Structure 1
Amino acid sequence: MSSTSTSARSGVPVHDPNPTPESSTADTAAPAELAWRQADHDVFVATSRGEFAGFVTVDDTAHVVHDSHSRRIGSYPSLAAARQALVDATRPPSRSRERLRRRILSRRR
């Protein structure tokens, strides 16, 4: 990551000047953090492991989040909330949430 990348969770700059083989293998097992860049005064773009992950646009009243396919995720009152929404949307579903989803879908049939 470059020195201008920021953590999606804290907004604090993230920089690992000496990546080790141990940290590289740990990164592949865990969900990747999103790196944020400001593309314009009202657009923030997120990447995960070098791949486009989504973006946030800012207008007068809201921060609108879009995923990697430009599908709208939602509108949020702050940039921090919008960034967290994209983090949550890119996180793989938990087993319990997936079981609940299957149970709900099976009842609809």
Structure 2
Amino acid sequence: MSSIHTSARPGALLSQHPMTEGAGLAWRQADHDVFVATNEGEFAGFVTVDRNAHVVHDSHSRRIGSYPTLAAARQALVDATRPPSRRRERLRRRILSRRR
């Protein structure tokens, strides 16, 4: 990951170079307030800077949440794109079967 300091303040230091993150997401800065993520070349989502918040959207432009830092926002997208664990998937199926 590139060393970069970004905050929601106007005039914050922004990188023009690609930034990389774990979990296969590659990050690029599309504008001074927009960061776009791809996963193996496919669009994975984006982060917009809105005053004091970093707003995360998934690959379908659905809002995931708002975070105080770019690092937290990027991690939220990494977590949202991570496939569910077997344990979590079994729990989900068990809960859904009880609702029937």
Q: TM-score, normalised by structure 1?
A: 0.71
Kept in 1: contact 2:18–2:29 (CA 8 A): no
- One-letter code aligned to 1:98: E
Residue of structure 2 in register with 1:85 after alignment: 76
Identity %: 85
Aligned counterparts of 1:107 and 1:57: Cα–Cα separation in 2: 39
**1:27-106 equivalences in 2 (<5 Å):** 33-106=24-97
**Structure with greater helix share of residues:** 1
1:8: which partner in 2?
21
Where 1:92 maps in the other structure, the secondary structure is coil
Structure 1 segments of 4+ aligned residues over 4 angstroms from their partners: none
Structure 2 stretches of 5 or more lacking a match? 1-16
Structure 1, unpaired ranges of 5+: 10-31
For the aligned residue pairs, the C-alpha RMSD in angstroms reads 1.3
* TM-score for the superposition, normalised by structure 2: 0.77
